[in-house]
Chains A and B, each alone.
Chain A
Amino acid sequence: MAEITYREAVRRALVEEMRRDERVFIMGEEVGVWGGTYAVTRGLLDEFGEKRVRDTPISELVIAGAAVGAAMNGLRPVAEIMTVNFALLSLDAIVNHAAKVHYMFGGQFHCPMVLRTTAGWGQLSATHSQTFENYFAHVPGLKVIMPGTPKDAYGLLKSAIRDPDPVVFIEHTHLYRVRGEVPDEEFTLPIGRSEIKRPGRDVTVVAYSRMLQEALRAADELAKEGIECEVVDIPTLRPLDLEPIIRSFQKTYRAVLATEQWLGYGLDAEIAAQIYEHAFDYLDAPIRRVTARPVPLPYSRELEQMALPGKEEIKQAVLDVLR
């Protein structure tokens, strides 16, 4: 079993799926000659050529819309939108077309496309530091994946490409250099499965994407103080696999929900509501949410750090719910 980076895991999934299935192709801005804005698709143009690794104009709307049409007509597009901030310009094609063509025409068409994009930040200021997974996860008909480890990124991207439904696959720029074990032999992971990434008896911590890594670090440190967190990862945000969250909560009676989304109408609120609906009798403390401060992200390093959530806030929230 090799330790590889999240970036290499994504690339490996793309390459394997393209070798396996002629219908799989990549299109997006700077995916070919440049090698991918985050170097994920580096080398793919050489192996697969311009037909299957397609540089597009700066046209987020038609990248997504053409992916829908190509998927309906038999291909397996992997469309890349450079960052999720720019995906706002694709939103109509994703919400009004990708998510609708199967249902609205009575099941006559399928839309087996993947829209890959990135969340992340790093002194990029307000327009370039956002994370909009709840915009997509709100929409029936879409599947939304936001993996937090190299293994999940690999196994879930492969499943996403093979799935007959449209999948929004959001990578995190801060995870690209994270290393993790990924088995050498080929495998896929099922979409729609939550997973306990660290067992524990005291507090349930639900997290995904970069916040999963933060939660695992927080749990390590708290363990030294004798507090055992159970970290539940939700790499698939929709469809949500609720059962591991509820079962964990029924054991710990306490929950902390960690996300990089702004406080207010986010994924954390949905999960809290689900816990209240399904496990109200087990509640020993109010559920705590760890989120970004609801302000446009500022440029200054100091201000940016104040705005973003991390390991320390998770630790504090765990201590709060135990109090």
Chain B
Amino acid sequence: MIQVQTEEGVLSTFDRETLLSWYRQMILIRRVEEEAAAAYQRGHIGGFLHLYIGEEAVAVGALNALRPDDNVVVHYRDHGHALARGLPARAVMAELFGKATGCSRGKGGSMHLADATKRFWGGYAIVGGQMALAAGIALADQYAGHDRLTICFFGDGATNNGYFLESMNLAAVWKLPVIWVCENNAYGMGTAVERASAVTEIYRKACAYDTPAERINGQDVLEVYAAVRRAADYVRAGHGPYFVEAVTYRYRGHSMGDPERYRSKDEVEEWARQDPIERFKRFLIEEGVPLEILESIHAEVEEEVQDAVRFAAESPPPPAEALWEDVYANPPADDPFLLPPEVAALP
């Protein structure tokens, strides 16, 4: 058993297996993304690929503080959250490869991972858009009398558009069971927070909606866990939404092919010295976890990741019929737009 301390005292006692499972998730995320980056360079993955490397502690700390039936809604930088939620690495990698076996059947890609069975409601690529959906998902649970809550992740940049204001306000007015998690990674694409936001400590924006808020070190998985546990207790008690600003950093470009003119190498290296995985590893070793155990976890993850890449590469692309499927849940038989003109010819 390992006791986790916070400033307020003992937070929780965990069995070693639990903490090791968090460690495992963090390295799984990192290794899946490193392999994804390599596959992108080889041309197996197209479009935008937004890596979460450097930010792993946020998703892992936050999602492990929740119940499996709570709702998760994420932005397009969603690989970490998907894996922390337990989506199989195979299904994630296959989606990045655009394959029929992907978690969104090859129709969503990197930015739109989802798994309804895990109440992982998807990654959303219109900045801020998922905040409104999260409010609605939470409303449905409140309406039906469920004690589930909804956690919604978004970036610092998302706090500057209208979705943020409208969703924060509605959630507060209706006391919706939402945990807002702002991943402040210092930039929205190439624009530094202080160049885009009048308030640079993002958590202070929550006071405009009378929503309790805190700012935490997002590189410390235990601190993230603690904050989201506090948030969950508050929200589940019916008090309404809660806001967590996790200060974090992405090591890689905004997406692949970012020339990174907006920051220095020194800055990236400085943050890399506070790496969330290294930090957690030191903690585990200090708590007496033998190095061999950590190494065996690495070996296991390696096998899982290589298997996922193989699976994705060998999977078939979606069949041609899939193009026309699922435009509507209840499609009309004779929609002239839903079929190519040569098929739609009328008698």
Contacts and interface: CB of A to CB of B under 8 A. Distances in A.
B141 interface: yes
Interface in B111-168: 112, 114-116, 121-122, 124, 126, 129, 131-141, 143-144, 162-163, 166-167
Interface stretch (B13-21, B22-30, B101-109, B241-249): B101-109
B124 A242 contact: no
Interface string A42-55: 00000000010010
A296 interface: no
B207 interface: no
A75 B108 CA distance: 24
A239 B167 contact: no
Interface string B316-332: 00000000011111111
A104 B108 contact: yes
B7 interface: no
Interface in B308-347: 325-332, 334-338, 341, 345-346
Given A61-B166, A75-B140, A109-B122, A278 B346 contact: yes
A105 B122 CA distance: 8
Nearest to A278: B346
Given A106-B326, A165-B328, A62 B135 contact: yes
Given A68-B136, A97-B126, A73 B141 contact: yes
B224 to A, nearest CB: 24
Contact of A72 (B137, B330, B334, B338): B137
A51 B140 CA distance: 11
B217 interface: no
B163 A65 contact: yes
Contacts of A191: 332
A97 B129 contact: yes
Interface string B171-203: 001100000000000000000000000000000
Contact of B170 (A57, A109, A141): A57
B143 to A, nearest CB: 6
Given A62-B170, A192-B332, A105 B114 contact: yes
Interface in A77-105: 77, 89, 92-93, 96-97, 101-105
Contacts of B331: 239
B127 to A, nearest CB: 10
B255 interface: no
Q: Which of A68, A71, A103, A192 has most B Cβ within 10 Å? A: A103
A169 to B, nearest CB: 16
Contacts of A321: none
B334 A103 contact: no
Contacts of A96: 126, 129
B112 A104 contact: yes
B332 A239 contact: yes
Contacts of A103: 107, 326-327
A289 interface: no
A92 B133 contact: no
A238 interface: yes
Contact of A64 (B131, B132, B141, B328): B132
A25 B144 CA distance: 12
Given A61-B163, A65-B129, A69-B133, A165 B108 contact: no
A274 interface: yes
B114 A72 contact: no
A40 interface: no
Interface in A110-125: 110, 112
B219 interface: no
A238 B337 contact: yes
Nearest to A51: B143
Contacts of A59: 166, 169-170
Nearest to A69: B136
Nearest to A66: B136
A105 B21 CA distance: 28
Contacts of B328: 102, 141, 143, 165, 239
B64 interface: no
B71 interface: yes
A70 interface: yes
A102 B103 CA distance: 13
Interface of B: 71, 73, 102-108, 112, 114-116, 121-122, 124, 126, 129, 131-141, 143-144, 162-163, 166-167, 169-170, 173-174, 325-332, 334-338, 341, 345-346
Of all A-B residue pairs in the complex, the 8 with the closest CB atoms, nearest first, are A65-B132, A69-B136, A106-B105, A66-B136, A73-B140, A62-B166, A69-B133, A239-B335
Given A65-B167, A103-B326, A192-B335, 5 more contacts: A62-B166, A73-B137, A106-B105, A107-B329, A140-B327
30 contacts: A56-B170, A61-B162, A62-B167, A65-B136, A68-B136, A69-B132, A69-B138, A70-B139, A70-B140, A73-B140, A74-B140, A93-B132, A96-B126, A101-B122, A104-B112, A104-B122, A105-B122, A106-B102, A106-B106, A107-B326, A108-B115, A143-B328, A163-B330, A164-B330, A192-B332, A239-B328, A239-B332, A239-B334, A241-B334, A277-B341
